[in-house]
Amino acid sequence: MNNLKDFLLSKNTEKNQIEIILSFAKSSVLIEKEINNYEKTNHIGIGRNKTGDIQKPIDIRCNNIIMTELNKLNNIFYAVSEEEENSKLMYNGNLFPFPENIYSVAFDPLDGSDNIISNGPLGTIFGIYSEKNNLHYSGGNLICSGYAIYSSVIIFVFTLGEHVYEFKFDKEKNIFLKTSNNLVIPSKPKKIINCNPGNMYKWREKDVNFFKWLTEENQKYTFRYSGCMVFDIHRILCEGGIFMYPGDYKNKNGKLRILYECFPLSFIIEAANGISIDGNIRLLNREIKTAHEKTPIYIGCKRDIVFYKYFEKILVQKSTFIIESFNGSGEDEVSVSEGEKIDTYKVLSDENWTRISKSNGKKGIVPTKCLYFHETY
């Protein structure tokens, strides 16, 4: 197995990026120690952070761990933390001309921190943004994102945009070692819906109907929710399903923060072959004006996000439909769009292609991975 540093070097990762990733990995080990030493008597709110969450001493301590580690580097422009009201300027070198390979970072030091009292799942989320001296954050500026989860073993997961790598912390050797396979959402994802139905009374009609539809007897979805977004997203990477935190009549942008929760996790889910939208558009296409902005989010395997977008249309049971648009250009290929219903099809012998016929008058072949076959589930 590869250790984290050698692995990053083998991928020709830019030197400053390596330092930042290693800094978050080191912080995660220190944070786990902090969690292990946690005293229940400390579970007292000492105020609220900028976005309204109750802040506990452990939130502040985990934030300080990360800030201390980041302060040792000299390649960070701004740092934005869920636990800090303002973005912190970290760079004290010359800005004219603006230096190359300098990055801004955003992080949630202890995601799901309410779970600590019951020994439930906890994590850390981070995003590394390319910086051109304008602190202008958009999903398109992300060059790396990742998370740590603190359970029986610390796992450290990240993407540089293409693949999702998972490392486990080896306590004896004091290093992170790569697990065997990259994380990709399974091609036959499990039917799992992760959300907080306790908010249903204030959800919009579409969200209520979607949840009710998925949990009807014949859809066979199961419901899970940990109260720690990063843990629920990790389960989606391992098993499939959807996580949603909608906006509602009271909070039109929901609860989750874009810069240090939704952008980083969307970047990972897309690299693992999933989709993340704000209800309408691809989340990573969003731009934000202030550091602590929130957004509704629907994130998960392609099948389930396409279900969300089109379920009113797809309500016809047992329909097979397109979960990924395809522009057919080769001989016999046909173009199809996401959400389109397919009436008649036959998977060809190599299983990579499926022939559709009598579907909206279309006839031809499409890649099998673009189709969701209702009957096979």
Strands 164-170 and 154-159: antiparallel
Q: How is the beta sheet containing 103-111 ordered, strand by strand?
A: 88-89, 76-81, 103-111, 122-130, 142-150, 154-159, 164-170, 175-178
Distance, CA of 316 to CA of 253 (rounded, Å) = 31
- C-beta of 52: minimal distance to ligand F6P in Å? 10
User: One-letter amino acid identity for 153?
Assistant: V
- C-beta of 349: minimal distance to ligand F6P in Å? 44
- C-beta of 31: minimal distance to ligand F6P in Å? 15
Q: How is the beta sheet containing 297-301 ordered, strand by strand?
A: 222-224, 192-194, 242-245, 297-301, 274-277
Residue 344, classed as helix, strand or coil, is strand
Nearer to ligand F6P, 228 or 288 (CB): 228
Distance, CA of 18 to CA of 110 (rounded, Å) = 22
Nearer to ligand F6P, 229 or 283 (CB): 229
Q: What is the CA radius of gyration of the chain?
A: 22
How buried is 262 (Cβ within 10 angstroms: 0-12 exposed, 13-18 middle, 19+ buried)?
Answer: buried
**Cβ-based neighbours of 10, under 8 Å, separated by 6 or more:** 2
Nearer to ligand F6P, 261 or 304 (CB): 261
List interacting residues with ligand F6P (CB under 6 A). 111-112, 196, 227-229, 255, 261
DSSP letter at 249 equals S
- C-beta of 225: minimal distance to ligand F6P in Å? 7
Q: What are the backbone dihedrals phi and psi of residue 178, each rounded to the nearest 5 degrees, phi first? A: -70, 140
Nearer to ligand F6P, 60 or 334 (CB): 60
- C-beta of 41: minimal distance to ligand F6P in Å? 22
DSSP line for 92-112: -S--SSPPSS-EEEEEEEEET
| Inter-residue contact 16 to 75 (CB < 8 Å) | yes
Residue 316, classed as helix, strand or coil, is coil
- C-beta of 240: minimal distance to ligand F6P in Å? 18
- C-beta of 117: minimal distance to ligand F6P in Å? 13
- C-beta of 358: minimal distance to ligand F6P in Å? 44
- C-beta of 319: minimal distance to ligand F6P in Å? 31
Residue 229, classed as helix, strand or coil, is helix
